[in-house]
Structure 1
Amino acid sequence: MLLDVTQTGGGFILVEDTVQCSGRGLLRCFINAALKRGEDVHVLGFESPEAEVCAGLDSSCVHRLHFHKGFPDPLGWTRRSSFTVERFTSQHITQLFKDTQRAKASVLVVDSLSMVLRHHDPVVFSQTLQELRKGGVIKTIIGLLHSDLHQQGIVGIVCHLASTVISVAPADNERNSVAKTTRRTKSGKVMQEEEYFSVSEDATLSVQAKPRQPGRGQKEPDVCETDPTSNLTFNLRLSEDERRAKEKVALPFVFSQQKKSALLRPAPGSGRIVYEPDASDDFDEEDPDDDLDV
């Protein structure tokens, strides 16, 4: 899956690394693959110089790489950078793409998003990414995030915005690293895969499937369940004769047809209550409540 994401691109691809394993080599692989596809690549370099980013790239395609210098003055204190963190807005970035002679859908690479997040509100940062994705000028956004520099809530917000998240970690051997790729399609389907990868000096990506751990695919043996009613002094089950006898017993709250007819049929000489007022009764038909002290 990692090789497929590198070759096709599209959407917002997040490379998540830590101090134990750097994802900058994988970032160079994405840049090299986009240049070979004939796409223009704009790099916002806040943490690495241009020489380090361009090292090993295909010399025949490097003219399509536009490096916007943010290193070594990302905050613009000495005015030695052509692009500062403060200018990380959809308006400024879109203008950079429009000023390019080959104006078409291009690739934006941010090295790194951690520098931007340290000086921008996460809500404003999220709005900027959404505007860039919907603007139509940028085809692919690739960002490097140092996850161990931020709170988990901030990392979760950025991962939620990304269509593909690649988390890199060190492997058992020094030659390879482990990449856990999580890809979310437009239909909402989520795919995950862990692979070994290595980056050569010419920014070529080599991917190897991670072998499964032994014993994980084996089926667990069935566990014998004991019967909790086996040692009871009384029987909880009914025999066939007991079941038939139980079904013949009439329930007390169920009326038979004969009982219903007897209750609904008016009997001759049924009792009635007749009230005849005597002389001591003081009843006023116009004011029935006259005897009440109200």
Structure 2
Amino acid sequence: MLQILASRGDLVLLRDSVEWEGRSLLKALIREVALKGEQVQVLGCEVSEEVFREGLDSDTNSRLVYHDIFRDPQGWTGNWGPLGILRACLRGAEPGPCTLAVDSLSWLLLHAPCSALCQTLRALGHDNSHPGRVRVLGLLHEDVHGPGPLGALRSLAQIEVTVGGNLGFTTAQVFHPKPRHRSIEQTYWFSILPNFSLEFHKEPLLEPRPHRGPQSPTVDAMADLTFNVHLSKKEREARDTLALPFHFSSEKQQSLLHPALASSTSQIFYEPDADDYLDQEDPDDDLDI
């Protein structure tokens, strides 16, 4: 993933969310840039300078030029404007490659139109007043903005890094949009150490392997049943001698084919009770008038 620091892209968009914060990864990338000897300008909007520098080693902190607008946001907005702040960060910078880390672009979107911010970011990469190529590392809280501002910034970015996680690991999906070529997308699994150095991991298995422990004894599922599911020899013979209700024996066939013979052998007698009421006009008692 550190290959994004070797590219001279104008805008590296670092996208995070409520579930996975991206400021730690931003500080880790800043540390790598500083260790390479490049100058780093930091525009801090959302946290104080002390909080941002916390955890970084002294060598890295000595290479950072921090522009703190967290303590006095109205003063910066009134004197420079949100877009003038970005240009002011590069004034006085030393010649050579320069990285401008913005924490965050979401704060600037709350104080300036999206179109004006995009124009300023595009102009920073072609600013002739600074003798050197400028890379912008912009942190963006993607779940705060709608699809319009998010799509506009994505169209400017040479590299997109989306912070996420899976299976207990932090992931970074790096996307290289190439209009005339096939885009490249890679996923990195890593951990951020207390000194904000990156430790990369191999991609974990999607499904954990089954634990090969000692086999448990086989449990008899019919041990606690209150009835017997097996038949003895005598019970099986008695079952075979029973006539099934749907089986037509010869006696049943004769009774169905010759009802007169069956009626001669059997009769039905009806004796009404004392409470029975026989209506000759409605013997079935199915009329309701």
For 1:206 and 1:6, how far apart are their aligned partners in 2?
16
1:16 aligns with 2:11: no
Give the structure 1 partner of residue 82 of structure 2: 88
For 2:125 and 2:79, how far apart are their aligned partners in 1?
19
Contact 1:73–1:84 (CA under 8 A) maintained in structure 2 = no
Q: Cα–Cα, structure 1 residues 72 and 188, in superposed 2: closer, same or farther, change >3 Å?
A: farther
Q: Secondary structure at the match of 1:110?
A: strand
Tell me how far 1:179 sits from its aligned partner: 1.3
Give the structure 2 partner of residue 105 of structure 1: 97
Q: State how 1:23-38 maps to structure 2 within 5 Å.
A: 23-38=22-37
Give the structure 1 partner of residue 189 of structure 2: 196
For 1:96 and 1:28, how far apart are their aligned partners in 2?
18
For 2:78 and 2:139, how far apart are their aligned partners in 1?
17
For 1:83 and 1:51, how far apart are their aligned partners in 2?
22
Post-superposition Cα deviations, 1:45-69, rounded to whole Å, max 9, x if no partner, equal 0001112222232322422211101
Q: State how 1:116-131 maps to structure 2 within 5 Å.
A: 116-131=108-123
Give the structure 1 partner of residue 157 of structure 2: 162
Tell me how far 1:108 sits from its aligned partner: 0.4
Contact 1:44–1:70 (CA under 8 A) maintained in structure 2 = yes
Q: Cα–Cα, structure 1 residues 85 and 166, in superposed 2: closer, same or farther, change >3 Å?
A: farther
Identity percentage over the alignment?
Answer: 27
Give the structure 1 partner of residue 134 of structure 2: 139
Contact 1:97–1:103 (CA under 8 A) maintained in structure 2 = no
1:56 aligns with 2:36: no
For 2:68 and 2:77, how far apart are their aligned partners in 1?
6
Post-superposition Cα deviations, 1:1-49, rounded to whole Å, max 9, x if no partner, equal x232246564311110110110000000111011111111111100011
Contact 1:69–1:83 (CA under 8 A) maintained in structure 2 = no
Q: Secondary structure at the match of 2:195?
A: coil
Unaligned runs of 5+ in 2: 208-289
TM-score by length of 1: 0.63
Letter in 1 for 2:19: Q
Letter in 1 for 2:194: E
Give the structure 2 partner of residue 253 of structure 1: none
Letter in 1 for 2:30: I
Unaligned runs of 5+ in 1: 215-294
Letter in 2 for 1:116: L
Give the structure 2 partner of residue 249 of structure 1: none
Aligned length: 204
Give the structure 1 partner of residue 213 of structure 2: none
Tell me how far 1:99 sits from its aligned partner: 1.9
For 2:176 and 2:13, how far apart are their aligned partners in 1?
10
Q: Quote the RMSD (CA, aligned, Å).
A: 2.5
